[in-house]
Amino acid sequence: MGLGVVDVKTSRVEPPEVVAARIRQALEFVPAERLIINPDCGLRHVPADAARAKLRAMVVGTAIVREEINKPALAVPADSRTVHSRLEHPVPSPVPRRGRLPRSLGQNTKFPLAG
C-alpha cells in the first residue's frame, strides 16, 4: 500500500519528524511489510528546491521509523565473547544508500518501509 507522506499542493516542507509521525500512524493499520512510502502525488507543480527538500524529508522520516522498527531488542550477553562478536560484525544500517534523487521530480518515488 502506498502512503503519501508529503503534501504536494504546497511548497511548505514538512519536517522529517512530521513525516515519521504520519508513517507511525499508518503502521497502526498496515504492517510495515505492506507499506510503501511515497509523496502524496507527483511533485511536478512544486518548485524544484522545495520538491528536493520534501523528498529529503521523506527519506529522513522514513529512516527514522525504519530504525525504530528494526532496532533489535537489547539482550544481556552470556559472556564477553558475545559482545566482542557483535562489535566485529555490526548490524547493517537499515537506511537505504541512494545516491541521487530521481531525474523527474514529478515521478512517483517509492521507498519500501520494511526490509
| 44 contacts: CB under 8 Å, gap ≥ 6 | 104, 105, 106
Residue 115: pLDDT above 50?
yes
From residue 82, alpha-carbon distances to 71, 73, 79, 94, 101 in Å are 18, 15, 6, 22, 40
- State the pLDDT at residue 7: 92
Tell me, yes or no, if the pTM score tops 0.75: no
d(Cα 95, Cα 62) in Å, to the nearest integer? 8
What are the tens digits of pLDDT across the range 50-98? Answer: 999 999 999 999 999 999 998 876 655 555 444 444 444 444 444 444 4
- Helix, strand or coil, per DSSP, at residue 51: helix
